[in-house]
A and B are shown apart, each in its own frame.
Chain A
Amino acid sequence: MAANKVVSKNMRVAGMKLGLTGLVLAVLFLFLIPMFYGIVTSLKTDSQLSKSDAPWWPAAEGILNYEGKDYEIYSVPMEDGTVRELALYKKGRQVSEFLDPQNPEAGPIEWEGAWRQLERIWSFSPQWRNFINAWDTVNFPRLLWNTFVYASVTTFGAVFSSALVAYGFSRFRIPGKGVLFMLMLSTVILPSAVTLIPTYFVFLKLGWVGTWLPLIIPAFFSWGTNTFLLRQFFMSIPRELDEAAMIDGASPLRVFISIILPTSMPALTAVGLFHFFWAWNDFFGPLIYLAGNPDKFPITVGLTAFNNLYSQSTNLIQAASLISAVIPVIIFFLAQKQFMQGIVVTGVEK
């Protein structure tokens, strides 16, 4: 009896495992369909995209090049019931002539019927050239470089200034600290529009609109989310460490540089990664401040402009979108752990 129970329990657990894992795989498949679509579409030719009877995978219509001319290959049902792949040599209303692509020298084969009813033969043929075309048309080197510089500079500024501020919040008794901290948190959820217009106007008067300065300078004045996250981490560093250094005569700045920063590398990395990809994704700021200056566009705005110009070239758009996603995705795979930890600290820690 007991043994029976154990077996049936094991069976049930195995069933659960199979069922749930199957469910996850199904959801994952649906979730990633757009990505497969993007990859497959980016490898198609224009002509395949315009034909409704084309296969779903990247393919080209079969062509026989014979004596310097191209002949289209069709799938032809023969009188003996077999289906052969033949190249249409001479079109006729009732009777057409075909060539055998394997052996064109053998001469034309006559076939009775309407060739227009025949189906074309497709063969697998990924168009890697689309990526090169997209790369050249969008001027990706420029966009990637702009985005990279913008993201790196703001990340450095935002992480360093946020660390300073977080140190202030975590280590010093300051009258009214609670109010300041609340204000800082509320800037995280403040809709950016409410400060945008006067800020834009001031930057316009300074002659900074059309440059990266309006996007870069504010990052050096700390950033709510980053500061919060770093403060949480600094709070967990034992105060004995700072105190020991202070007794040895280290100034608060010295403690910050030689104790707090080195001990917080994981948190600094996480915050840095976040900020980097936030900047990589940033759209609204560059759209407004760089309007009319395509040379300075980051990838998001450049991609939008490209989409407006080439919205008919689905394959190029998908290729360009994929190119812009490659770098963040690769870095994510390399630095997954830091990412996940950082998210947990911002979202869950109290």
Chain B
Amino acid sequence: MSFFEGVELLKKDKARGKRKLSGADKREARTGLAFLSPWIIGFLLFYLLPMIASFVFSLYDFNPAVPDQAKFIGFENWQRALVIDEEVRLSFFRTIHFMAISLPITLSFTLFLAVLMNSEHVIGKNIYRTLFYMPTMIPLVAGVLVWNGVLNEQTGWINVIIERLTGIEAVGTNGLRWLADPKLVYYAYTMFGLWGVGNGMIIFLAGLQGVPTEIYEAAQIDGAGWWRRLFRITVPLITPVIFYQLVLSVIASLQYFLAPFVLNDGTGFPEGMTRFYMVYFYKQSFSFFNMGYGATLAWLMFLVALVLTAILFGTAKYWVYYASEER
């Protein structure tokens, strides 16, 4: 949502136009810029220049161990990434595949928790809110290791519980091999992510608490049931919050790296399923030190992120609700 704040400021810039600055205005601008200088310098040093350099690197065959042997090769790296190297396409679609499973599950679970935590009928909400939030504080590496244990096909409690409750053969090599079965592994990874829903839950919750109660009362008088109220009033009114979470989650999933690296050292186990784009980028850049090619992969990821963000912002006007917006 913060993005829209920026848009507002841009409008103000325009409105001010090219009015001539007085001496006092100039002084004010100079002082302001002095305060912005850490960011401006940081932006140049750590964002803008490296981005440009990254593009230049992508035109070279470059290994930092032997920088003298760097060779300009034009768009060969790009050609390799886009046409020749199949792994780029595969790892990208794996990332999208994983995103298509984990994002809907995670977002709806987050919303589900927020709705429960907002319900007047739940006794002791504050305690549950704290407890649902708590795993978010556990370092992700530790969380992944704990889940890795509990999802173990032989000794993990999840399989034992499923088997005891349903009688389905879950334990053992014929059972549910959460982390070794290519069909299940994305669901297992999605579960790791559920331990990080705390922030999203709190943000949704604040969104829900911002919905005026009069609207509910009016709807109730009109005879709207609980589900109808949820999908016709609550969800539409918090679409800005959902949008914000969605943008952040899409960008974060694009860079998903930690779990496959911690659990399998990026080997892609099982059957290459977890060799996501970022894992492949890491392998090329920091295991094989093909930094020219790595820079190409990074730039490709940037372009994809740009396109995805643009698409999300483009669709925003069809489904994201802004109370103060004039249409």
Contact = CB atoms under 8 A, between A and B. Distances in A.
Interface string A221-260: 1100001100000000000000000000000100010000
Contacts of A181: 5-6, 9
A318 B52 CA distance: 44
Contacts of B203: 343-344, 346-348
A78 interface: no
A277 B278 CA distance: 23
A32 B24 CA distance: 60
A168 B301 contact: no
A161 B10 CA distance: 24
Contacts of B295: 197-198
Main SS of the interface on chain B? Answer: helix
Nearest to B8: A178
B309 interface: yes
B31 A172 contact: yes
B305 A189 contact: yes
B150 A32 contact: no
B46 A252 contact: no
Given A35-B135, A165-B35, A340-B202, 19 more contacts: A21-B121, A34-B149, A37-B150, A164-B38, A171-B32, A172-B29, A179-B10, A181-B6, A182-B3, A189-B248, A198-B49, A300-B140, A308-B265, A321-B142, A329-B137, A332-B134, A333-B130, A347-B1, A347-B199
Interface of B: 1-14, 16, 21, 25, 28-29, 31-36, 38-43, 45-47, 49-51, 53-54, 57, 64, 67, 113, 116, 119, 121-124, 128, 130-135, 137-143, 145-147, 149-150, 152, 154-158, 160-161, 194-195, 199, 202-203, 206-207, 210, 240-241, 244-245, 247-248, 251, 254-255, 257-258, 261-262, 265, 278, 281, 285-286, 291, 294-295, 297-299, 301-302, 305, 309
A16 B121 contact: yes
Interface in A151-198: 161, 164-165, 167-169, 171-185, 187-198
B263 to A, nearest CB: 8
A198 B138 contact: no
A52 B43 CA distance: 57
A114 interface: no
A27 B116 contact: yes
B284 to A, nearest CB: 10
Interface string A11-26: 0010011011101110
Interface in A285-331: 287-288, 291, 299-300, 303-304, 307-308, 314, 317-318, 320-322, 324-325, 328-329, 331
A180 B36 contact: yes
B2 A185 contact: yes
Contacts of A291: 286
Contacts of B145: 303, 307, 317-318, 320-321
A110 B149 CA distance: 43
B138 A325 contact: yes
Given A13-B121, A332-B137, A347-B206, A193 B248 contact: no
19 contacts: A28-B132, A35-B135, A37-B149, A168-B32, A191-B301, A193-B281, A194-B51, A195-B47, A195-B54, A196-B54, A198-B49, A221-B43, A283-B140, A299-B139, A304-B141, A329-B137, A332-B133, A343-B199, A348-B241
A266 to B, nearest CB: 16
Given A173-B32, A192-B255, A283-B258, A28 B128 contact: yes
A193 B298 contact: yes
Contact of A252 (B35, B51, B155, B206): B35
Contacts of B41: 221
Interface residues of A, number: 105
Given A189-B248, A198-B57, A281 B301 contact: no
Nearest to B130: A336
Contacts of A128: none
A138 to B, nearest CB: 12
A189 B298 contact: no
Contacts of B31: 172, 252
A204 interface: yes
Nearest to A331: B137
B302 A191 contact: yes
Contacts of B50: 194-199
B39 A165 contact: yes
A111 interface: no
A269 to B, nearest CB: 16
B141 A283 contact: yes
Interface centre among B36, B199, B286 (most CB of A within 10 A): B36
